[in-house]
Each structure stands twice: as structure tokens, then as C-alpha cells.
A and B are shown apart, each in its own frame.
Chain A
Amino acid sequence: MLNRWLKKLIGKSDSRGVAKKRLQFALVYDKLEVSDEVLIKLHQDIVDVISRYFEIDKESLKLDIRKSEGRSALIVNTPILSARRIYPSVKASA
């Protein structure tokens, strides 16, 4: 565990984290059949929008596709750290 943080600190690759992200994208992609690029952009946009209202852990936001009775649902799951009191204006997004 310590090694992992050290690696991150000194900027060495954390291939486990990369693998998990790739995997999550791949699974959504497999079910939706949209390109990786689109998904990564969608992911980023969702993070941006939610961040305007809530403090979220950007790393652990998850996109998921659930299929039920011929319908697909896009499920966004993110832990919320806190609500923002003052909503930053749209332009001034972090």
C-alpha cells in the first residue's frame, strides 16, 4: 500500500489504477458500443457538471450500464463529499 502511494508521489506508473479505469470504460463500451473517446468525454463532462454543485471524489465516479427488459440505463455513481454553498459560475469551472 505504502509502495503504491510512494510510486504515485514520485510519479511512477500505477498500472493497477490505470487497469481499473480502462476496464470500467471497456465494460460500458462493450454494452453501449460507443467509442472510448466518447465515453471519456462523457465521463469528464459529467464530473464537471456535478462538481459545480457538489464536492465529489473525481477518481471514484463510476459510469455503468444496466440492461433490463430491452432498455439500457446509464447509471452514474459517485460519493459526494459535501455540497457547495456558493455555486461557481458555469465559466469558472475548476
Chain B
Amino acid sequence: MDGKVIVITSGKGGVGKTTATACIGAALALENRQVAVVDMDIGLRNLDGGMGLENRIVFNVVDAAKGKCKIKQAAIKDRRIENLYLIPASQSDNKDALTPDIMVRLCKELRKEFDYVLLDCPAGIERGFENSVAPADEAVVVCTPEVSSVRDADRVIALLYARSITPRLIVNRIVPEMVENGDMLSHEDVVDVLSVELLGLVPLDNQVVISTNTGAPLVLQKDSEAGQSFRRIALRMEGQDIPIEIPQAQKSFWKKLGIIIGIGK
């Protein structure tokens, strides 16, 4: 059976697309799926660094588009996780090096080899977005609980619907303490405003930055809340019925005690 092509997009930059792509890709591979993650940010490659594979690039997606290599040859095997492959962006070409038609053709090849092809979409809704969405069967929209990010997500969701793709949403960088104090939109607020299916909630987690520094996969860290959230997201993408957990503020000693002896929540 042919694999699925899934675009990970957001509209606004810096909300966690690349982080989500790397983590979900790794998590699906840990479930014994053959996974390719593709960096679609031509000229600003990123995904390679996050995965610690920046020194191994030989060919990239633009080389494959130009026929300099087969798309399979551009796939670099992950060092730590079996079944996980990265297809890097090129650093030198500009975005015009790819077209939606070429991407459809390349993804057709990739579907034969992989169960999942995850496309890390660049920010914005221009050429790079078109190239990433054209071959996609499904879409994951990432946003943070901020007005500008949700607004851009709304725009992107409308564009996806226009292409007959029903996206699912990840709300990233949630700070539970701020939500509780009324200083951050809650995931309910976001879902309410966007009316879209929720795929998962990811808290702000310092381990994310540490893991991008070291190139060590976040999803292998048991103590990383964000990493564990992404693992559950991957299971949901696999069709498992796993309830969505809401990131909780670290409870103080007295509150914990209150819960144990049954007063207050």
C-alpha cells in the first residue's frame, strides 16, 4: 500500500513546525513505520540541524527535482532511530527551484518506499506553501496560543479547506500557569475560535531547546513533557484512540496535599 503524505504548516513562522515534524517523524519511526521527513524550506534549511544530521548531507530535494539524483538517494538515515530518514532542503537555490508538479512527482516516488512522508512547510502562504501542500493527503496545522499565530492558522486552515484537505491542529508552547492565571489563551479558546479537530497539545518545555542544541531526539527523553506529547500525537495519527491530555501546571505542595485529602481541585 502507498504511504501517506502529510504537510506540517502554520502560516506564522517560529511556532514549532520543524520541531513537530522532527518529533512526530521520530515517534512514528519508533512505532516501526518507515518515515521520511522532508525539509521544504529551500534556502533556509533547518530540519537537518534539529536532527543532528547536518554533516551528512550529500544530495538534497532540489537535486532530485533537477534530476541530479533519485529522491531516494537524497534520503539520509537517522543515526539513532531506525526507519527514520531525512531529505534535506538545499541551502543555495531559491524557492523557484521547486514547483507543485515536481513535488507531486517526487512524493509519488516516496510513497512507494515510506509509510509516512512528512513535509516541513516553510512559514508564509507563498510558493513554499504551495509546493508543500500540493502533494499532501493530510495536513497538520501548528499554532501557539497567541492572537497573531491563531489568526494566521485560521488563514491557512481556510486555504487547506479550499484544497479539500481537512486539517488537524496542534497547539504548541502552552504555559499552563499562564492559562490558569488568565494570561494566555487556553486550548479551548483556540479550538473554539478555529473550529477544527484537535490533534494534540504540547507544553512549553525547556528540553526542546536543549534537544535542538545537542541533536538528541526529544521523543526518546522520558522526562520531556513535549516529547511525550508528540509521541501521543503520533499514536493518534496512527489511528489509536488516545484521549488528549491537557498540560497541567506544576502543583504546589499544599495544592497537592489538598487533592490527596480531597479538598479543592
Contact = CB atoms under 8 A, between A and B. Distances in A.
Interface residues of B, number: 18
B179 A16 contact: yes
Nearest to A22: B147
Given A30-B151, A30-B154, A23 B185 contact: yes
Bin the interface of chain A by size: 10 to 19
Interface in B1-23: none
Interface string A18-38: 011011101100100000000
Contacts of A30: 151, 154-155
Interface stretch (A1-9, A39-47, A50-58, A84-92): A1-9
Nearest to A67: B158
Contacts of A26: 147, 151
A79 interface: no
B193 A4 contact: no
Nearest to A27: B154
* Chain B interface helix/strand/loop/mixed: helix
B241 interface: no
A14 B154 contact: no
Contact of B180 (A4, A20, A67): A4
Interface string B97-115: 0000000000000000000
A73 to B, nearest CB: 14
Contacts of B31: none
A15 B145 CA distance: 12
B193 A16 contact: no
B186 interface: yes
A23 B150 contact: yes
Nearest to A29: B151
Nearest to A15: B183
Contacts of B216: none
Contacts of B193: 20, 23-24, 27
Given A7-B182, A22-B147, A16 B189 contact: yes
B185 A19 contact: yes
Interface string B124-164: 00000000000000000000001100110011001000000
Contact of B185 (A3, A20, A27, A67): A20
A4 B181 contact: yes
Given A16-B186, A16-B189, A23 B181 contact: no
Given A16-B186, A20-B189, A3 B181 contact: yes
6 contacts: A3-B181, A4-B182, A14-B182, A16-B184, A20-B192, A67-B158
Given A16-B184, A30-B154, 16 more contacts: A1-B180, A3-B181, A15-B182, A15-B184, A16-B183, A16-B185, A19-B147, A20-B185, A20-B192, A23-B147, A23-B189, A23-B193, A24-B193, A26-B147, A26-B151, A27-B154
Interface of B: 146-147, 150-151, 154-155, 158, 179-186, 189, 192-193
Interface of A: 1, 3-4, 7-8, 14-17, 19-20, 22-24, 26-27, 30, 67
